[in-house]
């Protein structure tokens, strides 16, 4: 990883919420790495990114077994969610062809 990427990551990803991270990435727009990160974030589900961020934060305080149990519980619950089916159909190209609703709020 390029040293400039590490500096950007340290500056932008130190915040507690996805909204704050996104806001600080926006301030760095114009750097190719940041532009790529923002492009990817804009294609992802905000709920999934918030969930992933929270899981990473919690995992720092857990042992390996607890992390695996958390991953299993979260994955199981997400698969049972009706939004998962809709999202997977869109990702696999068998959905409606319309992008999933996204109000632009992080």
pLDDT tens by residue, 76-95: 998 888 777 777 777 777 86
Decide which of 14 and 103 is more confident. 14
Decide which of 3 and 103 is more confident. 3
pLDDT of residue 92: 79
pLDDT of residue 68: 97
Q: Residues 17, 25: contact at Cβ < 8 Å? A: no
pLDDT-based confidence at residue 100 (cuts at 50, 70, 90): low
pLDDT tens by residue, 12-45: 999 999 999 999 999 999 999 999 999 999 988 8
Q: Residues 83, 51: contact at Cβ < 8 Å? A: no
Q: What is the DSSP letter of 17?
A: S
According to DSSP H, which parts of 28-63 are helical? 32-43, 46-59
Residues 6+ apart with CB under 8 A from 83: 47
């Amino acid at each position: 990883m390029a040293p400039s990427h590490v500096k950007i990551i340290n500056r932008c990803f130190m915040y507690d919420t996805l909204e704050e991270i996104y806001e600080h990435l926006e301030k760095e727009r114009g750097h190719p790495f940041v532009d790529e990160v923002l492009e990817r974030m804009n294609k992802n589900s905000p709920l999934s990114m918030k969930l992933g961020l929270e899981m990473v934060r919690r995992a720092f305080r857990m042992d390996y077994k607890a992390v695996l149990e958390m991953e299993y519980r979260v994955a199981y619950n997400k698969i049972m969610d009706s939004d998962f089916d809709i999202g997977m159909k869109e990702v696999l190209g068998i959905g409606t062809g319309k992008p999933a609703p996204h109000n632009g709020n992080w």
